[in-house]
């Protein structure tokens, strides 16, 4: 199987990007692109010897113009997969359609619960006992694409948004590289019913991660 090429989009420190870079995936990281010139993750990517570039969203009159410029910057590298790793922009339907089936995101909640922003605040306000994160394919519906893998964490008495976010982030760093690995190995597919299916995944040993993270 030919080696896959991955392009990563970031807006900030890029901790999920760093987890991906350190996972030794069977893939080539073609580039890291940010919409924020001061994103700390750009320096991290360069330290790994990865090509970086910036497409500042504030330089464009509207979302469609920015997305068109971003797509042009992406297509230079001809990636097999585009990975959103803390990329804080809502993408237009045309952009999403351009990369249908090869645009992946991680969201800090157990979707479909708590889409959008401030997920940890909403989880605490709702009084849920289990919270977590979800890797999914991106579709025009905000945080509504086919779910690939989820990990759950307990909500502890006395949790703040910060302590809960840190617990969830540890799981994000675990399951995002796994989802990308499945894609690179040709084991992740979209079924006719629109759901994401992982081929030949091990039975979950830990019910709080499904499908199981492989080692």
Separation of alpha carbons 83 and 140, rounded Å: 16
Cβ–Cβ under 8 Å, residues 118 and 109: no
Is 120 considered catalytic here? no
Collect contacts of 21-25 with beta carbons under 8 A, ≥24 apart: 21/45, 21/48, 21/50, 23/177, 23/180, 23/181, 25/177, 25/180, 25/181, 25/184
Task: Write down the catalytic residue from 57, 77, 107, 122.
Answer: 107
In sequence order, the 6+-apart residues with CB closer than 8 A to the CB of 23 are: 177, 180, 181
Q: Six-digit token pair at 87?
A: 């990329």
Cβ–Cβ under 8 Å, residues 42 and 69: no
Catalytic residues: 107
């Amino acid at each position: 199987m030919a080696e896959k090429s991955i392009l990563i989009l970031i807006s900030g420190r890029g901790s999920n990007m760093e987890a991906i870079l350190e996972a030794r995936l069977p893939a080539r990281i073609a580039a890291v692109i940010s919409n924020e010139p001061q994103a700390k993750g750009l320096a991290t990517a360069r330290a790994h010897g990865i090509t970086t570039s910036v497409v500042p969203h504030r330089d464009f009159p509207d979302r469609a113009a920015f997305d068109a410029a971003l797509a042009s910057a992406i297509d230079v590298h001809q990636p097999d997969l585009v990975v959103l790793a803390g990329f804080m922009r809502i993408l237009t339907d045309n952009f999403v359609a351009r990369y249908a089936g090869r645009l992946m995101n991680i969201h800090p909640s157990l979707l479909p619960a708590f889409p959008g922003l401030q997920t940890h605040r909403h989880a605490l306000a709702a009084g849920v006992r289990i919270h977590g994160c979800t890797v999914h394919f991106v579709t025009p519906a905000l945080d509504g694409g086919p779910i690939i893998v989820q990990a759950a964490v307990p909500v502890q008495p006395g949790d703040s948004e910060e302590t809960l976010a840190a617990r969830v982030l540890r799981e994000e760093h675990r399951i995002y590289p796994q989802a990308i690995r499945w894609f690179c190995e040709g084991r992740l597919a979209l079924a006719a019913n629109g759901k994401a299916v992982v081929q030949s995944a091990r039975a979950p040993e830990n019910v709080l991660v499904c499908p199981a993270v492989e080692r």
